[in-house]
Amino acid sequence: MPVSAKSAAEQLSIKKSSGNESQRYRLYREHKFLRAILSDLENRIARADFTDLSQLLEIKNKMEYIFGIIEGHAKHENEIIHALLRAKGTSIVDSIEADHKSYKAMFEILRGMLTEILNILETGNEVELIAKGYEFYIAYRKFIAFDLQHINAEETLIMPELQKYYSDKELKEKIDFPVYEQMSSDDMIGMMMVLFPHMNINDKEHFLSDLQESQPKKFLEAWKGIAPRINAIERSVLAEKLQLEAIFVSKTID
């Protein structure tokens, strides 16, 4: 059934931010990284030859890597971010935490489907492998759709609720800064090397500024490590904004 122009607009609408709200401290920027690796795996599954053991094992390893990241991410959200809202008496996080439980159930289903395909591979039934491979691809795509709805809810419902109850300073100090306190400069470099390829310059400035504010000594070493991996134009802008001209690194690592 065709969707009317009005219905389509409603599907894509989000709450408009005022000038002040748009300047508020914002979490969930790492979702860009998560979306990228989930999409990459979807594309890999779409291209897979399900009669090839090496390709199936590659998919399995990538899938387990992603599942581990998502589980750790959800644990952090439940224990740190959601605890702040529960302390204010709001139950808005209930549906998000229910989703986190659904993730685990979906992980087991996808694992089981892939294990079944690997077992069939031993029999050499090519027709059945192709059919089961397509079913696995559709199931993973449904998981992708579920994840998109989930992160949209976090960014458009949970984030405004956090901003309503907490100042920017409180959000930094209660959520992100304790994590950075536990990190070494090498950890910081590693984190940025993973996240930055999927982020714009505003996101990069956000992470760098937070690291600089929360852990100034470790940040200087981290900047020296990550700066050569940022393109020259962005690096120059970031160095100026963060007043890092004195330790500006001119060479880019491709």
Domain count, the chain: 2
What end-to-end distance do the CA atoms of the chain give, in Å?
49
* 113 and 239 housed in the same domain: no
The answer on pLDDT for 246 being more than 60 is no
Mean residue pLDDT of the chain comes to 92
pLDDT, tens digit, 9 for 90 and up, residues 103-145? 999 999 999 999 999 999 998 899 999 999 999 999 999 999 9
Would you tell me how many other CB atoms lie within 10 Å of the CB of residue 52?
A: 12
Neighbouring residues of 192: CB distance < 8 A, sequence distance ≥ 6: 204, 207, 208, 222, 226, 229
- Is residue 64 within 8 A of residue 83, CB to CB? The reply is no
Q: Is residue 5 part of a domain?
A: no
* 32 and 138 housed in the same domain: yes
Domain that holds residue 100: 28-166
Residue 82 burial (C-beta neighbours within 10 Å; 0-12, 13-18, 19+): buried
Overall average pLDDT of the 64-71 stretch:
98
* 140 and 181 housed in the same domain: no
* 127 and 229 housed in the same domain: no
Q: Is residue 15 part of a domain?
A: no
Overall average pLDDT of the 160-176 stretch:
97
- Model pTM score: 0.88
Q: Is residue 9 part of a domain?
A: no
pLDDT, tens digit, 9 for 90 and up, residues 174-233? 999 999 999 999 999 999 999 999 999 999 999 999 999 999 999 999 999 999 999 999
Q: Which of 166, 192, 213 finishes a domain?
A: 166
Q: How confident is the model at residue 251 (pLDDT cuts 50, 70, 90)?
A: low
Q: Characterize 103-137 residue by residue with b for buried, 16 or more Cβ atoms within 10 angstroms of its Cβ, and e for exposed.
A: beebbeebeebbeebeebbeeeeeeebeebbeebb
Q: Is residue 57 part of a domain?
A: yes
Q: What is the pLDDT of residue 145?
A: 97
Q: Which of 136, 166, 196 finishes a domain?
A: 166
Q: Is residue 22 part of a domain?
A: no
